Amino acid sequence: MPNQQAPSLQVIEQTPSRVVATGSWQIHVLARSQLMSELVNKLRSAARNPAHVWDLSDIEGLDHIGAQLFWNAWGRRRPPTLLLAPIHEEIFARIEQAGTLVLPATPQEHWYSVAVIRRGVRTIVGHGLSFIGLIGQLVLDIGTFIAHPLRGPWKEISSNIFHIGYQALGITALVGFLIGVVLSYLSAQQLHSFGGDVYLVNILGMSVIRELGPLLAAILVAGRSGSAITAQLGVMRVTEELDAMLVMGMPHGFRLIMPRVLALALCMPLLVVWTDAVALAGGMAAAQLELGLSAHYFLQELPNAVPPANYWIGIGKGVVFGSLIALVACHFGLRIKPNTESLGQGTTLSVVTAITVVIVADAVFAILFKGVGFY
């Protein structure tokens, strides 16, 4: 290799004019050559004259990289007259057979086209039927669990209660406290301008206990635990553990779905009470700093400001929200395909859908209990 000559290109003006290439046109020589840009310019300049005779028979060495330089300069087609060594003919034949890769043009579909609408409807109906089937299987599994409690997945339920409930106390407390402080601070400024400082307890109590507490806890659990449930089931799909469970006669619903739904249905009311208490503590601290309302006055007036029915509505929301989050997470987890791209898309879609379902369910609660919990 050290004795190989550097590549060179020479245009000989005669009749007919000739372009003679010599030296080694191989990648390891071209990479060391200081005349690379000059060679490319010479190739392009010589290729402008279609009457040239290209003589490559004296090339010492040629590989696909060097041949591609000539091919690109010729406009991806052979010149009318080309002299090649027999050993180099195969290289140019391969390049010529490869041609130019042309991807088929895919027609662009608008969102209002019939095909797109049909696919969207089919997807929504498929998800709906699958979700209804999941709920039906859950009812049957709960019936089996009640009939044979000793055979129930108690370890799975307790494990999910620990991971979903206990480990979520920190984040729910932090967010609840900050929301309570912000809400109390903003409400205190408005109430003070109208001389209604004492009504801060009513605003905080009703908004936190009836709406913000359950909704905040549900959104945090959906983002934290819902995504984890979907990812767990998705990884089990990718590693074929779900198929192995079916082979061993272990149903998915009884061992995977029911424990998570029951754990979330038990944890969420407790997390709602915990979030309510911490948010009210943050609002109470901000009220004392902003308006000078003592903690004793706040706690004394809170039972009178918030009717007991609101506590039960909040706890009921916790049970419903927890069950919906678990069902949505399990639904998308079981529909994940055995590849990593589907795992990421399914987890993202699970979180977005769970939060949307929680907000819709909260709106349904507001409509159903619009006349309950007010003096």
Q: How far apart are the first and last CA of the chain?
A: 96
Query: Among 133, 211, 131, which residue's Cα sits nearest to residue 176?
Result: 211
Q: Show me where the domains of the chain are located.
A: 8-98, 116-368
Q: What is the pLDDT of residue 3?
A: 63
Q: What is the pLDDT of residue 290?
A: 79
Alpha-carbon separation of residue 143 from 148, 152, 252, 312 (angstroms): 9, 11, 15, 26
Task: Reduce the DSSP state of residue 374 to 3 states and report it.
Answer: coil
Question: What averages of pLDDT result for each successive group of 10 residues across the chain (375 residues)?
Answer: 72 80 80 69 81 83 82 81 82 74 54 80 90 93 92 91 91 94 87 77 89 93 92 89 85 90 94 94 88 83 87 94 95 87 89 95 92 73
Query: Among 310, 304, 300, 307, which residue's Cα sits nearest to residue 276?
Result: 310
Give the C-alpha separation, 43 to 352, whole Å: 57
CATH topology of domain 8-98: Transcription Regulator spoIIAA (3.30.750)
